[in-house]
A and B are shown apart, each in its own frame.
Chain A
Amino acid sequence: MLSLLLSQWRLCAWAGLAAVITVLAGLWRLEAGRAAHLQSALQAAQAAQATAQAQAAAATAAGATVAAGAARDAATRDTHTENEHAIQSAPGSGQGLDSALNDAGRRGLCNFHAYQSDPFCVQLHGPGSGQRPDASGADASAPD
């Protein structure tokens, strides 16, 4: 009888121990999962913060580059204005050129894409003709 009771007590003890271990393992697993979730959230937040800082730094740098570009453009225009005045005041600046020379130059420029919308070039080649450079400046569609 005593042996049976002892056996049952041992069985209960083992079962209790197993239950305690199971509960502890479950709690530990739960806590580990929560810690992993928190770590993942922290990493995501850190990544978002790093991205935001990088975007801000890049935007600041881009702004500085654009500002420097605007200043450079202004300096370039100033240089051109100075050059223009110097050319206008130079001897021979007002000297006329042969109209055939000017015509050849204008026709030549019309062969470039940059001048495809110029009224003279449109009249010369027609709209959207897509003419390419022609060393002779001659054009089949040009009015004689």
Chain B
Amino acid sequence: MAPTPLPQTDATAGALWIALDDQTARLDQANGRVEDVLEIEQRCEAEQAKAGTGKPGLLAWLKF
């Protein structure tokens, strides 16, 4: 995610606070992306485990 644009050389006090606010908003968004990716990955692993066919039975070799 791109950072907040660099404040101008003649930036006012308000401009700096706005830049800080914008940077924080972007940080929240970036952190949200990480949480989303982890959630998707964990859900995917859970579904994969649920769909697992399991190991062959102990007496599987007896099959003709």
Contacts and interface: CB of A to CB of B under 8 A. Distances in A.
Nearest to A114: B3
Contacts of A10: none
Given A54-B47, A87-B18, A121-B6, A77 B25 contact: yes
A33 interface: yes
A50 to B, nearest CB: 4
Nearest to A112: B3
A106 interface: yes
Contact of A106 (B6, B17, B44, B53): B6
Contacts, number: 112
B: contact size bracket: 35 or more
Given A62-B44, A72-B32, A93-B12, A115 B25 contact: no
A87 B6 contact: no
Contacts of A143: none
B1 to A, nearest CB: 9
A120 B25 contact: no
Contact of A115 (B6, B24, B29): B6
A128 interface: no
B34 to A, nearest CB: 11
A43 B60 CA distance: 13
Contact of A80 (B5, B6, B22, B64): B22
Given A62-B43, A92-B14, A93-B13, A73 B29 contact: yes
Given A62-B43, A69-B33, A84-B18, A54 B13 contact: no
16 contacts: A36-B63, A36-B64, A58-B43, A62-B40, A72-B32, A80-B25, A83-B18, A84-B18, A87-B17, A87-B18, A88-B18, A94-B14, A97-B11, A97-B13, A115-B3, A118-B6
Given A76-B25, A77-B25, A121-B6, 17 more contacts: A33-B64, A46-B53, A54-B51, A58-B47, A62-B43, A65-B43, A72-B29, A80-B24, A87-B18, A93-B13, A96-B10, A97-B11, A102-B7, A102-B10, A114-B2, A118-B5, A120-B6
